[in-house]
């Protein structure tokens, strides 16, 4: 089964607008590209999202609500898509594949499902402002520039860091913490569509060893699972900044390749 539809699932602290360059790039290759939001009320211009750090929705939204909304959005499409997710969107991609909603999936520096123990100190430093238990989960978090510098863009010069920070929006602490709960569970051994896990070698918040551990947990699955490391890429530069097209093209060409192999094997 092939597909000319791609669904791009954004991560936390950004919005669907973080995919704008990818949409133009992939539509130029003949794909229909969908960039769903986590909730209909979050489908707003970037400047509106940035100006509303106390949006009540950010205090109450949950992972089950997000995955159900995305599932309904994808199920309504004319064909099963290739699903590509970044960061928390990488976790959502894995969960959506587990629901049988894509023909292939790519998790880029994806948050792993529950059951993979993170041990990297950089992850705890980068994520602590969001997961600190002394701050109520109902209090939204708007990442500061200094926090963004360390967690997302530490390899960039200052001017490019400031430009990159413009994608950041207020976010739900509850969603950040949900990755540590049973809401983020998947059956690693179950059959599913092919999955590629991409890691950035310089990522602080979802380090490459954590991506590799995520990949290795699928060892008992009968389905195709692949791993690709892009050395030197941070959480930001894996999907934006100079050379992001290399990652985008690799992801799509990988999906096209495994789907073509499945079609050939079925003939």
| Separation between Cα atoms, residue 105 and residue 28, nearest integer Å | 20
Q: How far is CA 209 from the centre of its chain?
A: 17
Q: Per-residue pLDDT tens for 113-141?
A: 998 877 778 888 988 999 899 999 999 99
| Separation between Cα atoms, residue 135 and residue 122, nearest integer Å | 20
**Structural domains present in the chain:** 5-266 (3.40.50.1820)
pLDDT at 1: 64
DSSP codes joined into one string, 3-68: -SEEEEE--TTS-GGGGHHHHHHHHTTT-EEE---SSGGG---HHHHHT-TT-THHHH--HHHHHH
pTM of the model: 0.96
Q: Per-residue pLDDT tens for 53-86?
A: 989 999 999 999 999 999 999 999 999 999 999 9
pLDDT at 266: 66
């Amino acid at each position: 089964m092939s597909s000319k539809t791609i669904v791009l699932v954004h991560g936390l602290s950004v919005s669907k607008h973080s995919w704008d360059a990818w949409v133009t790039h992939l539509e130029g290759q003949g794909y229909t590209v969908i960039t769903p939001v986590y909730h209909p009320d979050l489908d707003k211009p970037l400047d509106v999202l940035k100006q509303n750090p106390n949006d009540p929705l950010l205090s109450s939204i949950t992972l089950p609500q997000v995955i159900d909304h995305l599932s309904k959005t994808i199920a309504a499409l004319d064909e099963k898509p290739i699903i590509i997710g970044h960061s928390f969107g990488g976790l959502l991609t894995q969960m959506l594949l587990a629901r049988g909603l894509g023909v292939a999936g790519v998790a880029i520096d994806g948050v792993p499902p529950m059951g993979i123990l993170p041990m990297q100190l950089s992850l705890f430093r980068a994520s602590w402002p969001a997961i600190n238990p002394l701050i109520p989960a109902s209090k939204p978090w708007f990442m500061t520039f200094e926090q963004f510098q360390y967690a997302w863009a530490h390899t960039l010069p200052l001017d490019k860091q400031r430009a990159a920070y413009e994608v950041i929006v207020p976010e739900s602490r509850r969603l950040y913490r949900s990755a540590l709960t049973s809401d983020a569970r998947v059956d690693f051994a179950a059959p599913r569509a092919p999955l590629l896990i991409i890691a950035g070698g310089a990522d602080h918040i979802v380090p490459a060893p954590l991506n590799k551990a995520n990949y290795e947990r699928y060892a008992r699955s009968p389905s195709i699972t692949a791993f690709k490391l892009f050395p030197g890429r941070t959480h930001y530069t894996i999907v934006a900044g100079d050379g992001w097209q290399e990652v985008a093209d690799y992801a799509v060409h990988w999906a096209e390749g495994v789907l073509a192999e499945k079609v050939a094997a079925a003939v």
